[in-house]
Structure 1
């Protein structure tokens, strides 16, 4: 009890300490933690905590993005032409409640994710693999209890068996996602969560678990357990019953500190060990090279960013006259490939890398991280070329574009200098090509912009995608398929691309999948549905007192959170 009292005091006053103790890791972030329920974890703030309290069946092998190793499973086999996965589960694994993990807990976990599958969670890709639909039972009547129940079962040997309706080459990678971490069935039912039965499943279809009882009272098998929390602080302790190697750091405090200056000073004083930064330009100027700080640069970036050119703009407020008369644009303005090519040649990629990314950026050939299998560096790239942009603009709309000009209104995310600068670059270069060309840019709140773009109402939008699982499909289908997640924002459709993407989903042959993704990339270069924004080079920094796995280039994995169990502090 004395130890808990001491830690509780530390939780509240650590910001005033001269230096945090060696057995305690202090993390400061700018915002809230939306949830601590794995079943709805779909953001980095939540996963940073959930990943340390809970565990999945398998995980990534060190820094590898392609090799998966057992975690709560000990091994697995694939049969039935790639449609059946059988997992042996680790024995004598304890939940924080003290209960021993069984196959029934694993089965319950995945059925719960399929039943509650909603737009607030990342369970759409699990549902797609196991039920053949991204939707829940309320939105797709083909999703029945019988289908959910059959998709994941425990056999007589206590093995967990998944039965897929079709081959999914990314299925194992999907199981490594934070949201598929195993929860305890009996404990969850006891605190008011779904009881796991057919009798009550309909009451839980599509239910948002963000504020669930399990979020308030988490109970995983991970190396750390939650001791207490309030609106601004979370206190974790190493779990004595953990099945794996015991963590070197006993206590972890996660604090919400909205003010950047306060976080920076806490790190430099030694009050905090890890803080949320503010982007390369600010962090390099105010943190890099300071005493007591370790800076690690040139880390892999696994996000992809593009400026979408919507071929069917449904938001009439951005169209001006709605005609190609020099006073506006028609709703299908970007449906002419020559317009899209002209815009692509009008973006200054190297200038963006220099001014926004401070030289730490890379222009990619396709909207896929260059560290992922399937990336083809040989695909052609657009460059800033005013002469070529002029050539394509003169061809567009049978010459009417060049003759009449246009007025385009494009929004960008408010309070994001990188997005604003990207649109300013485009505006400046396009307007310099023809005095009749006008691009009006304006700031817009991100929540509104996201909602409107999903309805196809934004003319252009700069948006990124971070991976749910380490497979090319998660990017290529998202961006390029006519029924992909981002399709409503671009309304681009190419029959060949759709065919190649579906073929890539139906084979486990790596070479064939890579060939198909290369075809998609080459076709996308020809058709220019997006302006590919250069990818920043990732970096991280922390107190020099903290060392361990995930904090060096050799051990950093962009697909996972920082695992506290692999850290030491002096």
Structure 2
């Protein structure tokens, strides 16, 4: 069968291999066939194994090949609905959850789903728990530690068995303490249920005590299950090469066969080529590169519909490290003498308040986000439970900035001045623009203030940032699960991911965050998070960037992608599962 790729696709894409893939699907060519959907993106798909999935590119595919016990209801981030589990319940203490599994569900291999598959899935994730995976938060919930057995000797095979077991065909998860975010964690794509028998046949862990230690910390991204996946999802993999993956609707899917029979993912590194493909109809949807390309090149194109004002689930901020590692080149002289800064320069609250008041959020929104978005009260998406819009927002106020910096370090900052060496992500216009806004406004306060900016490769910047060697960095967090804990603990806890990057230690905030982790009363949690937000504002721990509403473009014939059914926790750019797509 010949490929149906349109002749208007004039850029090079390794067409020979693509033709084979489209033929395997029974067709192709973007909107040229009613039963095929073509998506183009710049990135590789690192893995098709749920246990190794911890990136958006993999999640976009894995969530359609596999399924979790439960999932988000429609576009909501606060309500869940059954998927492979038809119902669940917990004990009064919130330390044990019991799941009834759906009957008659088939894997792509033909094997029938059982509780043994679910137990194997979670035990495998707890056993491996590689740093490259998202299994740390499952381990935190079920074992009380985010580490694996290599770094935490208290983890034993018995503890893993006690945490995950089957009882009369029902899955029982036992927690050492209540975790109000457990259901959100189980909705994460990386906790999708795998086919135990098939996985073992592909050379994966055999599920026994005899071999479990051999698999501790093992990276599952390149696993046998990634090479040959078998899930319960509406689509199955039929072919792949370096430039494309082809998927076919699974005839045995318990939820009924989808409308779109074939899905093709193409890797197209060049943005211009992807934009041309959607214009010409050779792709139904593409990775566009952000708002500007859509508004400038696609918004008024015939045959393309643009969907705007989609919820933003990331939180970005400019980090002010309160204890830079001694000897770091960013410190300059290492003294408050106008030629550098001391390592603990940002430990003074008046320094932080001065820098925060010098950031012009309105200008950032106008110049970077084309007027979209608004200032935030806390580093948490406003769609998430726990976000409090009534808390104060930081204002651009040069007079307040000057007043704070005149008080900083007992007046020495204003008298002696400083030189800060800061970085921004090379090639990132938003990062560069934000840092330039801060530089301009801080330097305008006092001629003795100097901020030197330098572009830095993302990988190098992350490495130095993680080692506490940077003083000012723009970075952010995208959600693993839809719960405030995933953001606020990350940003503010002295045990959180960002502690080594900020050295922010606030015992009061630590106490509130631990309390919020220990109660299942959402109203009580919200009150605690509001207290965290208020104190963080008072102490000016971060310079928060505004929300950034999403935007996407899709061929006009594609149905199923809209503001109403878009769920930002989906990995696929359209915010929906492929099975919900159709064509008019």
TM-score interval, smaller chain: over 0.9
* Contact 1:223/1:247 (8 A) holds in 2: yes
> In the alignment, what sits opposite 2:244?
233
* Distance in 2 (alpha carbons) for counterparts of 1:475 and 1:228: 37
- Structure 1 residue 145: deviation in Å? 1.0
> In the alignment, what sits opposite 2:221?
210
2:317 aligns with one of 301, 306, 326: 306
2:175 aligns with one of 154, 164, 170: 164
Q: Secondary structure at the match of 2:273?
A: helix
Q: Secondary structure at the match of 2:444?
A: helix
> In the alignment, what sits opposite 1:534?
546
> In the alignment, what sits opposite 2:11?
none
* Distance in 1 (alpha carbons) for counterparts of 2:343 and 2:529: 30
- Structure 1 residue 19: deviation in Å? 4.9
* Distance in 2 (alpha carbons) for counterparts of 1:85 and 1:19: 45
* Distance in 2 (alpha carbons) for counterparts of 1:503 and 1:9: 52
Q: Secondary structure at the match of 2:151?
A: coil
Deviations 1:393-418, CA, capped at 9 Å, x for gaps: 00000111000000000111110000
> In the alignment, what sits opposite 2:535?
523
Q: Secondary structure at the match of 1:536?
A: coil
1:354 aligns with one of 347, 359, 366: 366
1:106 aligns with 2:111: no
* Distance in 1 (alpha carbons) for counterparts of 2:77 and 2:211: 39
- Structure 1 residue 16: deviation in Å? 10
> In the alignment, what sits opposite 1:567?
581
Q: Secondary structure at the match of 2:32?
A: coil
* Distance in 1 (alpha carbons) for counterparts of 2:381 and 2:81: 22
Pair 1:399–1:199, CA change in 2 (3 A) = same
2:289 aligns with one of 275, 278, 290: 278
> In the alignment, what sits opposite 1:186?
197
- Structure 1 residue 230: deviation in Å? 0.3
* Distance in 1 (alpha carbons) for counterparts of 2:104 and 2:71: 19
* Contact 2:318/2:473 (8 A) holds in 1: yes
- Structure 1 residue 282: deviation in Å? 2.0
* Distance in 2 (alpha carbons) for counterparts of 1:13 and 1:290: 29
* Contact 2:38/2:284 (8 A) holds in 1: yes
Unpaired runs of 5+ residues, structure 2, are: 5-16
Q: Identify the range of structure 1 (345-354 vs 7-16) with the bigger mean alpha-carbon deviation.
A: 7-16
> In the alignment, what sits opposite 2:389?
377
Deviations 1:30-77, CA, capped at 9 Å, x for gaps: 111111110011111000000110000000110111110110000001
2:563 aligns with one of 533, 536, 553: 553
1:247 aligns with 2:258: yes
- Structure 1 residue 8: deviation in Å? 2.9
1:70 aligns with one of 79, 82, 90: 82
Deviations 1:141-200, CA, capped at 9 Å, x for gaps: 111111111101001x20000000000000011000000000011111111000000000
Q: Secondary structure at the match of 2:537?
A: helix
Deviations 1:109-155, CA, capped at 9 Å, x for gaps: 00000011011000110000000000000001111111111101001
Q: Identify the range of structure 1 (556-565 vs 196-205) with the bigger mean alpha-carbon deviation.
A: 556-565
* Contact 1:11/1:253 (8 A) holds in 2: no
Q: Secondary structure at the match of 1:412?
A: strand
* Contact 2:237/2:245 (8 A) holds in 1: yes
* Distance in 2 (alpha carbons) for counterparts of 1:349 and 1:12: 50
* Contact 2:294/2:553 (8 A) holds in 1: no
Pair 1:9–1:393, CA change in 2 (3 A) = closer
- Structure 1 residue 569: deviation in Å? 1.6
1:459 aligns with 2:471: yes
Pair 1:425–1:14, CA change in 2 (3 A) = farther
What RMSD, in angstroms, separates the aligned Cα atoms of the two structures? 1.9
- Structure 1 residue 80: deviation in Å? 4.8
State how many pairs are aligned: 567
- Structure 1 residue 245: deviation in Å? 2.3
Pair 1:93–1:17, CA change in 2 (3 A) = closer
Paired residues for 1:461-480 under 5 Å: 461-480=473-492
* Contact 2:558/2:583 (8 A) holds in 1: yes
* Contact 1:468/1:474 (8 A) holds in 2: yes
Paired residues for 1:53-132 under 5 Å: 53-132=65-144
Q: Identify the range of structure 1 (401-410 vs 78-87) with the bigger mean alpha-carbon deviation.
A: 78-87
Pair 1:422–1:2, CA change in 2 (3 A) = closer
* Distance in 1 (alpha carbons) for counterparts of 2:58 and 2:389: 34
- Structure 1 residue 2: deviation in Å? 10
TM norm structure 2: 0.95
> In the alignment, what sits opposite 1:10?
22
2:41 aligns with one of 29, 47, 52: 29
Paired residues for 1:323-334 under 5 Å: 323-334=335-346
Unpaired runs of 5+ residues, structure 1, are: none
1:291 aligns with 2:302: yes
Q: Secondary structure at the match of 1:10?
A: helix
* Contact 2:30/2:38 (8 A) holds in 1: no
Q: Secondary structure at the match of 1:47?
A: helix
Q: Secondary structure at the match of 1:289?
A: coil
Deviations 1:241-300, CA, capped at 9 Å, x for gaps: 100021000011100001111111110111100100111122210111211111111111
* Contact 1:14/1:271 (8 A) holds in 2: no
Pair 1:139–1:438, CA change in 2 (3 A) = same
1:139 aligns with 2:151: yes
* Distance in 1 (alpha carbons) for counterparts of 2:211 and 2:23: 40
* Contact 1:20/1:26 (8 A) holds in 2: no
Paired residues for 1:408-557 under 5 Å: 408-548=420-560, 551-557=561-567
* Contact 2:420/2:450 (8 A) holds in 1: yes
